[in-house]
Amino acid sequence: MPAEPEMGLGLRERKKLRTRATIREQAMRLFAEKGYGETTVEQIAEAAEISPSTFFRYFPSKEQLVLVDDYDPIMIQGFKDEPAELPALTALRRSMERVFTTMSPEQLDREIARQKLIRSVPELRAAQLDELQRTIALLANGVAERLGRPQGDLESRAFAGALVGAILGVLDDEHGFSLERMGRALDLFEAGFPFATQPPG
């Protein structure tokens, strides 16, 4: 996790964040060594020096350990904290760029590995849809709050869904997780995809 989430937190909360990060780090190591399907919760707990019951206090399942994106809430909070006069897309882009540019090389490598694992394991790839729906809802609620719109309104959800889709569309198996390609997708989004509104030729 970036350093920012620990700022202003008490010792108990900081320890929880670090335990969560340790569990995930050990799990990803075991997945790389043994394979996702061959790694058990018990093995992850042993590697993280916790009990299986403690594992389930942090993650409801092995699947959720991989799927849950810990950076989404940080990005949404950063988005809310941007100056009120900024357009929603500008504020969101600043928040996203700040999160990714403040990651350490190790944190970025772990995020790339997580994304790659999701794409490579069929059951994770299929289950990702539910997690994406939660991400879209979280983003849509943040947009609605910022703009003074009703929670869950169609426009905010359409914006959130389109933005998430645009980013996912450029992060494929060939290119993987790429900040440069994500930035290009945001450029196209901000420009309104002009190539799609013009006649061919």
Is the pLDDT score of 173 beyond 70?
Answer: no
pLDDT of 63-74, one tens digit each?
A: 999 999 888 888
CA 190 to chain centre: 21
Go through the domains of the chain in sequence order and give each one's CATH number.
1-60 (1.10.10.60), 69-201 (1.10.357.10)
Identify residue 25 by its one-letter amino acid code: E
Q: What is the pLDDT of residue 3?
A: 42
Predicted TM-score (pTM) of this structure: 0.80
Using a 10 angstrom Cβ sphere, with 0-12 exposed, 13-18 middle and 19 or more buried, the burial of residue 65 is buried
Quote the mean pLDDT of the chain. 88
Q: What is the pLDDT of residue 1?
A: 47
Is the pLDDT score of 35 beyond 70?
Answer: yes
Distance CA 144, CA 54 (A): 36
Q: What is the pLDDT of residue 176?
A: 66
Query: Stretch 130-152: mean pLDDT, rounded?
Result: 92
